[in-house]
Structure 1
Amino acid sequence: MDNRPKQPAYQRESASTDERIDDLLDRMTLAEKAGQVTGTWAGTLRETHDLDDVKEAIDDGHLGFAAPFGWGGALATTPEDAVSAVEELQTYAREETRLGIPLLFSVDAVHGHAYVSGATVFPNGLGAAATWDPEGVEAAAAVTATEVRATGAHQNYGPTVDVGRDARWGRVFETFGESPHLVGALAAAKVRGYQGEGSAAPDGPAIPTDRVVATAKHFPAYGEPERGEDASPVDVSEYKLRNTFVRPFERVLDAGVASVMPSYNSINGEPSHGSAAYLDRLLRDELGFDGHVVSDWNGIRHLHEDHRTAVDHADGVRQARTAGVDVASVGHTPHADRVVELIEDDRLDEATLERAVRRVLRLKFDLGLFDEEPEDAADETDAVETLGAPAHRERALETARDSMTLLQNDGLLPLSGDEDVFVGGPNADDLVNQLGGWSVGRDEGVPGKTIREAVADATAGTVSYVPGTTMNEAIDIDEAVRAARDADVAVLALGEGWYIHEFGPEAQAGSETGEWPTRSDLRLPESQRELVRRVHETETPVVGVLVTGRPLIVDWMAEHVPAILMAYFPGTEGGVAVAETLFGDNDPSGRLPISVPRDEGDLPQHHDALAHPTPIGVDEHPDSYDPLFEFGHGLSYTTFETTDLSASVAARPGGSGEDDAPTDRTVRVSVEVSNVGDCAGTETVQVYARQRHASRVRPVRSLVGFERVTLAAGESERVEVSVPVKRLGFHKPREGHVVESGPYRFDVAGASTTLEL
């Protein structure tokens, strides 16, 4: 007879997930349930990393989530320290708490595991979007997931699914740009990269041990705040909300994203974190989301501290929980305490809490965190070998290469490789600025080369370097001018410094007014403009390289500087990608994912503006969309010709065509692309559509599909872009999604064709 104590069902790996969850819920106290859906963090901008505080929170608040990787401007955590912190906290949760419920670790690895030294850091959102390459974005996300999981984290707070509609906004660099279609396509690719085959569905495949939980943020509308100020209100019609901001979220939900994060702001007077209309009725009931909703940082506290829709912290917790927030990401012990008090006072239904706990426990079981020997247990040696592995850095280099966007070129580029080069500007020799936001604010332990270092490696000539200016203060412009006068070409790396929306070093403010990072002035600071003017006056040809998180107004440069290369925040391998592009080893294939305005007065400005009448007294309709550089623009070192455009309607894949509903069909847009230049290159075929007549005002044109094609010199290829008919429809208030019959015009590279649907 076996007298050993019977193992609880929740600890038996042979039991079903539902049995394990039910058994554990029956054993949990109210306080343990409240803590299980509450998180905390370790690491601050002051570079502290106190795990004892986290252990105390586990003891007092029974917390179930932790973010121990640091963030913001902190020094990078070493891989060894990251793994050690995770192991110490996980061991404590498993062995020193009553039920031994493991922690779930989360991190903001927005474009790489960038708070851990040696990690691979990719171009930030706009740079990744400039590749117009979903497969590349998915591959990059898979690298990030592998590196994050190697240090013991399970959930990544990304991708950003916001549609960036205002360049003044301090978070536009995180987005995939201004097009709902481009944002949705790339964000869905990133979800697939993060989660692999895993999904949010209870009966869906589990997330593999080398991937992470993806978090789509910031639902439902965050990318066009008033004045461009982060977290400021959005007052938007249902028509625009659904057709612009929610559409990309539909794509990531279809991709199986396991977590969603609400936005900080209020929408039509209703804060997202306290809105059942957005988090319950729209997200869950209508869009069918079945994962967990996690709060943004202090999003719940904002309800009473800033939005003032709650009378105190407890009331804010009640609002958020009732609205549909499952996890308070950094609620700490006070949040868990408020949940207990609210339920004991009959101000919050315990069933609401249990639904959230059930979602969290299911995720932890699916991730294998309760297994006696978890397959994904972090190992210091493995973490060191995984982070920044050669194959990972090669993927980052490929992404950076593909992001390089040549805005203009009068024949100066590519350089021959024999020139004497002057390199200047505040971003020429600064790895931190090259990484951009959501990275460490110091360069210790950061791999990669700066632009100056990579240019020196690329030319057989001499390289002189004088910065000439900090981000906004001239320091040695006269010396820079003398060095530039003696060179064959001047490469000026200009733009912005490192920032993370509302956080960062004030000295790197990007505007003359000192605003940061929200900017009403999108021009280069005066010291940078002076450097460009003075070097231009030497008659040495100038290449302007823009290292920036947003489109900047560079009208003077566009008129006077021969070549301008948009490098975005290109990551650890960005210096090499810039140099390879300057010297012709990389043909620039990036295309703008966001419009570059002529003036701040034009904002917001985007390619898919709604049609509207001619103003009274104006004989000729002014062009409402007339940016300095258009959405989708980008030059190559070769020349492409696009001919023989056609469009037809086909049955959906696997369908007969006869019984298919119209919305199940696909428009096939086909075009012949020829490389008639002297070198190989990559072209992005961009398909825009316009509904000729509709029951609501529709965009003058909107991106509905795209396809990249790489061709050798003299090569041609027939390229087909499939556009689901459903994508041509729109959300109509009170009617839902509709696709109206009638003529639709399809445009590709200046050619157009019309199709009747």
Structure 2
Amino acid sequence: MYKYSLLLGAAVCFGLSACAETTPVSTVSAIEMAGADTSVESRAARILAAMTVEEKVGQVIQADIASITPEEVGQYNLGSVLNGGNSAPGGGKVADPQAWVDLADAFWTASTDTTDGGLGIPAIWGTDAVHGHNNLQTATIFPHNSALGAANDPDLMREIGDVTAREIRATGIDWTFAPTLAVALDDRWGRAYESYSENPAIVASFAGPLVEGLQGLQGEDDFMIGENVMATAKHFIGDGGTQLGIDKGDTVGDLKTILDIHGAGYGPAIAAGVQSVMSSFSSVNGEKMHGSRQFLNDILRGEMGFDGFVVGDWNGHAEVPGCTATDCPEALMAGIDMYMAPDSWRGLYESLLDQVGSGEVPMARLDEAVTRILEVKIRSGLLAAGLPSERAATDVSLLGSADHRDVARRAVRQSLVLLKHENDVLPLQPGTNVLISGSGADSMEQQTGGWTLNWQGTGNANEEFLTGETIASGLTDAIEAIGGTATLSEDGTFDTAPDVAIVVFGEQPYAEYKGDVSDLVYEFEGGENLALLRSLQTQGIPVVAVFLTGRPLFMNAHINASDAFVVGWLPGSEGGGVADVLVADSAGEMRHDFTGRLSFSWPDNGVGEPINAADDPGVLFPFGYGLAYGDDGELSGLTEDPGVAATGQSFNGAILSRGDTAAGFQVYVGDSSNLNTPINGLAGESLGGAVTVAGVDYRAQEDARRIAWSGNGEGAFRLASGRSVDLSAFEDQILRLTWRIDQPPEGEVTLGMSCGEGCQGAVDISEALNTAPLNEWTETDVPVSCLVDAGLALENVQNALAITTASAAQISLHDVRFAQGDGSASCP
């Protein structure tokens, strides 16, 4: 039984929707403003009292625009929608700015419709505008956070927040999932570029100004209203401290240290009035953050004083042990107020409605979450904002405006870090003949990186960017303006020898998890970029290297092959900012000095062990390092040994031998809590406990691995390479496993290899496991061709073995290798 009273008369309602069918309901605006007490809390309480259970459940769920229609938002009374990194209006990668406004209108109209007797509470739209309104082709794209940390200018951050908010509002959207306040301590993490610094002080100094730039100032009439949007502090907490930099991994340590480091930005953000906090995918000391009442409630609210609402990350609730994407009361009970359920929203709605009805989820907790969401919507002016297209701040012509781009260009030049400068090669002088080379010189895709036009930032052609300019374009304009000549040649070839060459190169775009690496070697000996630098150097041409990267990487050989080495980071759409610093004025004087300083320590090897202090082993350039034009930039020859063996460099076909992985490969286990938990040593377990690994004896002490699946959800055992390896030479061979079946499975078990997202080949080996002799060591051969026929591309293998099952099972594995078969093996 559910009881609620309406402003226009009290009613007691039996069943979940009786009142909505029989009692007249006023609009939400009339209800919230009808009482004498006009405080936010009282207004929210009046709305809550008039809501049906269905409306309450809907308010705590957020769906992705690619998986829901405006009509469904209205039907289910959902509280929010988002556009994921690959979701644009119309279902394509990108859409015209007006299409964003039109869809915002459609969601507003559907969510505020009261013809079904509901209250018509507006849905709020959230977007990942993490370095500008980065899904829009005409938007101003700012440098990624690791670059901004090098600029170390809190006032600049406030300006960036202000510009980003104006461009978000220009398309009718209300809310951004920014800023990211991670303190990245391990540069192997694929989201390291989302962190401003390894130093908590820089992150803390940026948090308040950026939130104020996005939201406006608390107490002012335009706080979150007009050209301001709601901000999100994310990802709470510890996302930058996971072991080995594994995305969605585990941060281990004592509570005080974790709060001092990884919580540094949250206090200032909360003090600035941030209205939403996003929970991290990661765990702290083995506890998933989406299921941690200690952190989400006791610490975030009780100790830090946060008074907004907590939103989950993309189906992050599904990774709480015992949960699925469509069934997770544990997350709500822990402190998640709004589930981010992009494609799982319908099933989650139904299960949560049942759980409230049964009492499994207390009404008091649901009311608490809904109240927090309502209070934020009231503070933000959303309830009275009106149709997005009719708001004063909605104006798509503001996207990429000249004054907005000026701020971004300034951010580029302030973030550039000079690590080496010899022979006075910079700034480029009037009349100089310059060769502009490298894969990144004329690539908007490379300079903007991940989270640009799509999630991973890949596949973006220059012509898809309708605002901004490439680094090559900016350099050419500046060089020619002072009487020089500029020739663009990506591969470095030329007809007339140049006076100097600028080589722009770096990382290809990536985002979370795809960007995770096992070492920090940019490229090994023989890499094409290193070859280009050395070729120019050998020809006696002075070389300026501009390195595009989201994080510090081992670059010693490249630095040795350059006269000047500039860290360009991921500068965004305004490539001309690079030329502002590298090219002199007509009198031969610098136009802007190098003011960027490293906000991350730079490594002297490629191993990837965290380096976060000047005296840590393996530091080449410490935090805070960076040259100005007047500094001595001489640098003696650096060691070129990365300390890491290239995957496949001496690969003889043995992936696992006597229980140990071959060089370049590592054991990983995974389950719904974390797909990529590394096993260091012989023993370990997946974060959710679905898979455990331990050493076991075969012919010698612990020369095999015992892999046990609990049967509590799907789990995987993998032998993975830190970078792709070409195994095409083994296509005509068999994959031979020397193993012992200790407990046969009851369900399906697959064996496979993978070559990236959506690229894999797998076969069902359940029958082979069930017919093999129990508790006896045996050999099983699987033709590699079976995996190729199932979709594997051997030229780009990342997981050289993956055994996956949801069934309870136990296998001891001694050896896995490619071998010549005798033709008798067939596909399982």
Q: Give TM-score scaled by structure 1 length.
A: 0.73
Q: Indicate yes or no: 2:396 matched with 1:396.
A: no
Please list the CA deviations of residues 616-675 of structure 1 after superposition, one character each: whole Å capped at 9, or x if unmatched. Answer: xxxxxxx435522111111112359xxxxxxxxxxxxxxxxxxxxxxxxxxxxxxxxxxx
- For residues 26-175 of structure 1, the aligned pairs below 5 Å read 26-43=49-66, 53-68=68-83, 71=86, 75-95=93-113, 98-175=118-195
Contact 2:451 2:511 in 1 (8 A): yes
Contact 1:36 1:64 in 2 (8 A): yes
Question: In the alignment, residue 333 of structure 1 is paired with which amino acid?
Answer: R
Whole-angstrom CA distance in 1 between matches of 2:617 and 2:240? 19
- Does the residue aligned with 2:250 lie in a helix, a strand or coil? coil
Contact 1:567 1:578 in 2 (8 A): no
- Does the residue aligned with 2:143 lie in a helix, a strand or coil? coil
Provide the residue aligned with 1:283 in structure 2: 300
Contact 1:221 1:241 in 2 (8 A): yes
Whole-angstrom CA distance in 2 between matches of 1:195 and 1:372? 15
5+ residue gaps, structure 2, are 1-23, 585-589, 633-828
Change (3 A) 1:182 1:9: closer
Please list the CA deviations of residues 419-445 of structure 1 after superposition, one character each: whole Å capped at 9, or x if unmatched. Answer: 111111110110121112211142414
- Does the residue aligned with 1:187 lie in a helix, a strand or coil? helix
Question: In the alignment, residue 359 of structure 1 is paired with which amino acid?
Answer: R
- For residues 377-396 of structure 1, the aligned pairs below 5 Å read 377=389, 382-396=394-408
Whole-angstrom CA distance in 2 between matches of 1:150 and 1:517? 34
- Does the residue aligned with 1:288 lie in a helix, a strand or coil? coil
- Shift of the alpha carbon at 1:76? 2.8
- Shift of the alpha carbon at 1:576? 3.7
- Does the residue aligned with 1:250 lie in a helix, a strand or coil? helix
Whole-angstrom CA distance in 1 between matches of 2:236 and 2:45? 31
Question: In the alignment, residue 26 of structure 1 is paired with which amino acid?
Answer: A
- Shift of the alpha carbon at 1:314? 6.0
Whole-angstrom CA distance in 1 between matches of 2:324 and 2:318? 9
Whole-angstrom CA distance in 1 between matches of 2:326 and 2:394? 43
Whole-angstrom CA distance in 2 between matches of 1:626 and 1:345? 58
Question: In the alignment, residue 37 of structure 1 is paired with which amino acid?
Answer: V
Change (3 A) 1:31 1:364: same
Provide the residue aligned with 1:292 in structure 2: 309
Change (3 A) 1:123 1:494: same
Whole-angstrom CA distance in 1 between matches of 2:391 and 2:384? 17
- Does the residue aligned with 2:112 lie in a helix, a strand or coil? helix
Q: Indicate yes or no: 2:335 matched with 1:324.
A: yes
Whole-angstrom CA distance in 1 between matches of 2:385 and 2:193? 42
Provide the residue aligned with 2:595 in structure 1: 589
Please list the CA deviations of residues 137-168 of structure 1 after superposition, one character each: whole Å capped at 9, or x if unmatched. Answer: 11111100111112111111010100011111
- Shift of the alpha carbon at 1:247? 2.1
5+ residue gaps, structure 1, are 44-49, 304-308, 469-479, 504-515, 609-622, 641-757
Provide the residue aligned with 1:545 in structure 2: 546
Whole-angstrom CA distance in 2 between matches of 1:267 and 1:632? 29
Equivalent of 2:438, from 425, 430, 435?
425
Provide the residue aligned with 2:567 in structure 1: 566
Change (3 A) 1:72 1:80: closer
Change (3 A) 1:336 1:388: same
Contact 1:458 1:580 in 2 (8 A): no
Whole-angstrom CA distance in 2 between matches of 1:494 and 1:380? 42
Whole-angstrom CA distance in 2 between matches of 1:344 and 1:453? 62
Whole-angstrom CA distance in 1 between matches of 2:600 and 2:133? 26
- Shift of the alpha carbon at 1:26? 2.2
Contact 2:141 2:573 in 1 (8 A): yes
Change (3 A) 1:380 1:542: farther
Provide the residue aligned with 1:347 in structure 2: 360
- Does the residue aligned with 1:223 lie in a helix, a strand or coil? helix
- Does the residue aligned with 1:543 lie in a helix, a strand or coil? strand
Provide the residue aligned with 1:336 in structure 2: 349
Whose radius of gyration is greater, 1 or 2?
A: 2
Q: Indicate yes or no: 2:640 matched with 1:636.
A: no
Contact 2:183 2:200 in 1 (8 A): yes
Equivalent of 2:604, from 589, 598, 607?
598
Q: Indicate yes or no: 2:508 matched with 1:497.
A: yes
- Shift of the alpha carbon at 1:498? 1.8
Provide the residue aligned with 2:522 in structure 1: 523
Contact 2:429 2:583 in 1 (8 A): no
- Does the residue aligned with 2:63 lie in a helix, a strand or coil? strand
Provide the residue aligned with 2:231 in structure 1: 214
Provide the residue aligned with 2:723 in structure 1: none
Question: In the alignment, residue 111 of structure 2 is paired with which amino acid?
Answer: A
Whole-angstrom CA distance in 1 between matches of 2:85 and 2:262? 31
- Shift of the alpha carbon at 1:6? 9.5
- For residues 368-383 of structure 1, the aligned pairs below 5 Å read 368-371=381-384, 373=386, 377=389, 382-383=394-395
Whole-angstrom CA distance in 1 between matches of 2:435 and 2:316? 47
Change (3 A) 1:62 1:496: same
Contact 1:150 1:379 in 2 (8 A): no
Change (3 A) 1:638 1:172: same
Question: In the alignment, residue 38 of structure 1 is paired with which amino acid?
Answer: I
Question: In the alignment, residue 100 of structure 1 is paired with which amino acid?
Answer: G
Provide the residue aligned with 1:11 in structure 2: 30
Whole-angstrom CA distance in 2 between matches of 1:330 and 1:402? 39
Contact 1:72 1:438 in 2 (8 A): no
Whole-angstrom CA distance in 2 between matches of 1:370 and 1:287? 28
Q: Give TM-score scaled by structure 2 length.
A: 0.67
Change (3 A) 1:169 1:350: same
Q: Percent identity?
A: 31
Whole-angstrom CA distance in 1 between matches of 2:151 and 2:187? 19
What is the CA RMSD across the aligned residues, in angstroms?
A: 2.5
Whole-angstrom CA distance in 2 between matches of 1:599 and 1:347? 53
- For residues 220-235 of structure 1, the aligned pairs below 5 Å read 220-235=237-252
Contact 2:27 2:119 in 1 (8 A): no
Question: In the alignment, residue 66 of structure 1 is paired with which amino acid?
Answer: V
Provide the residue aligned with 2:775 in structure 1: none
Please list the CA deviations of residues 108-135 of structure 1 after superposition, one character each: whole Å capped at 9, or x if unmatched. Answer: 0001001112111111101111111000
- Shift of the alpha carbon at 1:94? 1.5
Whole-angstrom CA distance in 1 between matches of 2:395 and 2:83? 16
Whole-angstrom CA distance in 2 between matches of 1:327 and 1:594? 34
Provide the residue aligned with 1:695 in structure 2: none
- Does the residue aligned with 1:247 lie in a helix, a strand or coil? coil
Higher RCO, 1 vs 2 (CA within 8 Å, ≥6 residues apart): 1
For these two proteins, the number of residue pairs brought into alignment is 580
Please list the CA deviations of residues 445-477 of structure 1 after superposition, one character each: whole Å capped at 9, or x if unmatched. Answer: 431111111121122333222222xxxxxxxxx
- Does the residue aligned with 2:295 lie in a helix, a strand or coil? helix
Contact 1:151 1:379 in 2 (8 A): no
Change (3 A) 1:302 1:204: farther
- Does the residue aligned with 1:293 lie in a helix, a strand or coil? strand
- Shift of the alpha carbon at 1:85? 0.7
- Shift of the alpha carbon at 1:373? 4.2
Change (3 A) 1:241 1:59: same
Provide the residue aligned with 1:677 in structure 2: none
Please list the CA deviations of residues 80-114 of structure 1 after superposition, one character each: whole Å capped at 9, or x if unmatched. Answer: 11101101121122126522111101100001001
